[in-house]
Structure 1
Amino acid sequence: MSASSTWQPIPISSIEGFRIGHFTNRDAATGCTVIVAEQGATGGVDVRGGAPASRETDLLRPENTVDVVHAVCLSGGSAFGLEAASGVARELEARGIGLDVGPTRVPIVCSSCIFDLAFGDASVRPGVQEGISATRAALDGDSTCVPEGTVGAGTGATVGKLRGPSMLMKGGLGARAIELGLLRVGAVAVVNPCGNVVDPRTGSFIAGMRSAPDSLEIVSMEEAMLADSDGLSMPLDRTNTTISCIITNARLTKAQATKVAQMAADAYAHTIRPTHTTNDGDTIYVLASGELGFNDIPIDLIGLAATRVLEEAICAGCTTADGIHGAPSYKDVAKSVS
Structure 2
Amino acid sequence: MNARLPASDAGSITRVAGIEVGHFTDTRRPTGCTVVMAREGAVGGVDVRGAAPGTRETDLLNPCNLVEKVHAIMLAGGSAWGLEAATGAVRWLEERGVGFDVAVGRLPIVPAAVLFDLLVGDMRIRPDAAAGYAACAAASTADPAEGNIGAGTGAAVGKIFGMQRAMKGGVGTASITVGGVTVGALIACNALGDVVDPDTAQVIAGARTEDGLRLRDTRRALLRGELPQPLLAGTNTTIGVVATDAVITKVQAHRLAVAAHDGLARSINPVHTMSDGDTLFTLGTGLSGKHPGMLVLATMAAEATAIATARAVRAAQALTTSDGLHLPCAADLA
* TM-score in terms of structure 2 length: 0.93
**Correspondences of 1:135-146 after superposition (within 5 Å):** 135-139=136-140, 143-146=141-144
The answer to whether the aligner puts 1:288 opposite 2:264 as a matched pair is: no
Distance of 1:116 and 1:22 partners within structure 2: 16
Q: Distance in 1 between matches of 2:12 and 2:192?
A: 29
Q: Does 1:122 align with 2:120?
A: no
Q: For the structure 1 residues 276 and 136, does the alpha-carbon distance in structure 2 shift closer, same or farther, using more than 3 Å as the test?
A: same
1:84-123: CA deviations, max 9, x gaps? 0000000000011101111111000010000000122201
The residue correspondences of 1:1-338 to structure 2 (distance < 5 A) are 9-139=10-140, 143-212=141-210, 214-228=211-225, 231-295=227-291, 297-325=292-320, 326-334=326-334
Contact in 1 for aligned 2:12/2:185 (Cα 8 Å): no
Conserved? CA contact 2:181–2:290, under 8 Å: no
Closer, same or farther: CA 127–207 of 1 in aligned 2, 3 Å: same
Distance 1:107 1:29 in 2: 28
Q: Structure 2: any 5+ residue segments left out of the alignment?
A: 1-8, 321-325
SS in structure 2 of the partner of residue 302 of structure 1: helix
Give the distance between the partners of 1:96 and 1:278, measured in 2 at CA: 40
RMSD: 1.4
Note if contact 2:15-2:143 (Cα within 8 Å) is conserved in structure 1: no
Distance in 1 of aligned mates of 2:40 and 2:230? 43
CA distance in 2, matches of 1:305, 1:287: 14
Q: Distance in 2 between matches of 1:146 and 1:240?
A: 23
Superposed CA deviations along residues 255-289 of structure 1, whole A, max 9, x for unmatched, are: 00101111111111111111111111111100000
Q: 1:122 to 1:172 in 2, by over 3 A?
A: same
Residue 26 to residue 81, structure 1, CA distance change in 2 (3 Å): same
74-83 or 174-183, which deviates more = 174-183
Asked if the contact 1:161/1:234 (under 8 Å) is kept, the reply is no
Give the letter aligned to residue 249 of structure 2: T
1:227 CA displacement: 2.9
Conserved 8 A contact 1:29-1:119: yes
C-alpha displacement of 1:175? 1.1
Count of equivalent residues: 321
